[in-house]
A and B are shown apart, each in its own frame.
Chain A
Amino acid sequence: MSAALGEIWRNRIFYLFALPFAVLTILFGVWPIVLSIEVSFTASATALKPSPTWVGWANYATVLADPLFVASLGRTLVYTVLSVVANVGVALGLAVLFDSTLLKRGNLFFRLAVFLPVVTPDVAGYVVWRWLYDRSFGAFNAALAGLGLPAFTGLSSPDTATLSLLLAELWHHTGFYMIIFLANLAIRDRALEEAAVIDGADAWQRWRWVILPQIRPALIINTVYALIQFLKTFTVVVVMTKGGPNDATNFVSYYAWQLFDQGRYGEATAMATVLFGLVVVLSLGVFVFGDREAAR
């Protein structure tokens, strides 16, 4: 105990500077989460009263017995897996392309073009995507019609709505993941690749055994970040589909918000807590797994 206090005292200047940020994090980050979890154990009608009625796990039981929630959770997990793979995969491919000597002319222009959607306001971007998909006047179907191809049902069919959202989100987010990969590629040790060339390694072997291990930190960070981002998918649904058609894009965040909007605070926060738990467990799982692999 005294050793710990001594350690703190020795680093007192660091803790002094860190204190305001720690207080802000607790106040605006941790405390709302704690309050939200607290609300999930109360009856909705009394949730905002000074002395709410405690209902134990009843809201969780209701939520887990709701087939719409279970379907929404499954849908969210499938969408997350597809989006993480698509975003991280495309970002990695683009980063490797822009880092290579294949694309010398216009390299900066293309980097900017891929990154620009990241700084575009997401609502504005998704409104434009919605118009692109519109079956009456959208550009996609105009192009398909011009080529004599059948129309793309886009957001209006449960069969294609998820894919449509995934493409819009890919456009919006992949530039961010690409920049992380590019930063990691820029600081890698190129001498190792030269040594591999001398040892007779071909291009694939150099990529797989020399470059990829060096960009593992970016891969882990991007995967964890994308996992968190897509598990919480919300804005794109609000703007483009409102959970439809026929619940095809009714992900957990949106479903919880719908209940919140109906004043069903207990169930809504129970859903949010389940999602929060899932985000924490999966993110930590991926992080620990990646860390262990790196340590091998």
Chain B
Amino acid sequence: MSIVSKIFGAVALTAAAVVPVNAQQLTVWHDLGDNGIKWFEAMGAEYAKTRPGITVRSLSFPTDQWFGRVIGALNTDTAPDLIFNNYERVIRIETQTGKVEDLAPVLAGIADKAFLGEDDLRVAGFRGKTIILPIQRVQMGFGVRKSWLDKVGEKFPNTWEDAERVAEAFRDRDPDGNGKADTFGFALEAAKPRDLIHMLDLFVFGSGLRHTLIDPQGAIVVDEPAHAKVLEEFLKTYSTYRFVAPDTINHSFAEMYQVIEGGRAGMFRVGDWNVKKWDGANVLAGDFLVGPWPKFAADRDNAVVIAGMRGVAVPSNAPNKALAIDFAKFMLSKAAQQASLDNVGAAVRKDLDVSALSPRAQYFARAEGRLVAYDFPESIHEFYPELEAAYHRRLLAGIANPPADWKPFIAETAKEMRDLAAKLAKK
């Protein structure tokens, strides 16, 4: 036997001894793009420290493709080990496939979970199953351009009256100093189904109310006095107040971001995931303040909105189900959560190191604002998406042709929604 053969033989024997026989790869499908891929790489490296031989491979798809691929894969028994997305999207996967594993026993077995609040746990449930482990809380605050505030001599608006006054100043007093009347008070969006409701959610929950359209008992709330006041101001913001760009009715998220990042609007939604980009030199360069949504009533506290929850789910036909469940549990550990905060800008734990973040990012990371959660009606009323689509169309019709008096419009809308909800509930 030659010396070369002996060396190769020794190397092969050593490798066989070192590499565990149970080398496995977990596959995760998500829609978080490059930041998400980096996050899963970081978590995979951390996980491998205690589970040698286990690798984690994440694939990111555009959201619409993610739906098609996940539904197709679960229905044809070619599922990945884990799926990661917003809770309402996982609900749709469960509705379409019925193949999302019930994680209730897994969640019950996790000792270190005190950081998960009641709302966090509520969104994890659907049809009696725990379909996700909550991993990233999605917070949305109210942002205002600081230099514009300084220019018009205003402070961060606390009440809706403040916000109206600031919006008028931003529209009429050339806050960017370019000598043109090309700025607006607010950047909002309305184009796609649900977009308008996403904006309304911010006004409603940010003002401390608990439901946008329907309560858990099935009662329509839009014409309740406190709610009707917020709704009327919301609709006027899109129309008669002229606080938004005239084309806002066709603006989706992409156009709304163009308005914000292009310096055409002074007040806007800030998601925790926006801060990293907007702190960048070529975007807003950190020229914005973050706080809670404006206060609509003296007796009700305003808030930062928890507009969603991203979570991890395990398909019941996952190829490595036991290992996938173990990794899902690991995603709530401090190391994995720190990687989440560092790479994606969101987490659910509150004991993470936030010192490296900007003051705006820290506002979210420390959960400094009073938090009010989206009411997650789709997890209670199965007919909610259809009801919401009709509500969206009704509000858009009003914005497209604004009535002289919004009060009868709101009363009529409430009646229509009650009739529709009753009809849908009977289906």
Contacts and interface: CB of A to CB of B under 8 A. Distances in A.
Q: Do A and B bind each other?
A: yes
Interface of A: 44-46, 48-50, 133-137, 153-158, 240-248, 258, 261-263
B96 A244 contact: no
B67 A242 contact: no
Contact of A241 (B76, B191, B396): B191
B246 A244 contact: no
Contacts of A246: 249, 393, 396-397, 399-401
B69 to A, nearest CB: 10
Interface centre among A133, A240, A245 (most CB of B within 10 A): A245
A237 to B, nearest CB: 11
Interface of A (DSSP majority class): loop
A39 to B, nearest CB: 12
B250 A241 contact: yes
A49 B193 CA distance: 28
A158 B400 contact: yes
Contact of A136 (B76, B246, B252, B396): B246
Contact of B245 (A48, A136, A244, A261): A136
B61 to A, nearest CB: 14
Leading 3 A-B pairs by shortest Cβ distance? A135-B246, A246-B400, A242-B191
Interface of B: 64, 67, 71-72, 75-76, 92, 95-98, 182, 184, 190-193, 245-250, 252, 264, 385, 393, 396-397, 399-401
B95 A45 contact: yes
B249 A135 contact: no
Interface centre among A44, A156, A258 (most CB of B within 10 A): A156
Interface centre among A50, A136, A155, A243 (most CB of B within 10 A): A136
A258 B193 contact: yes
A49 to B, nearest CB: 5
A89 B246 CA distance: 33
A244 B249 contact: yes
B252 A157 contact: no
B245 A135 contact: yes
A154 B247 CA distance: 9
B396 A245 contact: yes
Given A46-B75, A246-B396, A263-B71, 8 more contacts: A45-B98, A136-B182, A158-B401, A246-B393, A246-B397, A246-B401, A258-B193, A263-B96
A44 B400 CA distance: 33
A263 B246 CA distance: 33
Given A158-B400, A262-B385, A44 B96 contact: yes
B249 A156 contact: yes
Given A45-B97, A136-B246, A263-B96, A244 B67 contact: no
A45 B96 CA distance: 4
B289 to A, nearest CB: 24
A66 to B, nearest CB: 11
Contact of A263 (B67, B245, B397): B67
Nearest to B193: A258
Contact of A135 (B98, B191, B247, B401): B247
Contacts of A156: 246-250
B254 to A, nearest CB: 10
B257 to A, nearest CB: 15
Contacts of A263: 67, 71, 92, 95-96
B26 to A, nearest CB: 24
A246 B250 CA distance: 9
B250 A245 contact: yes
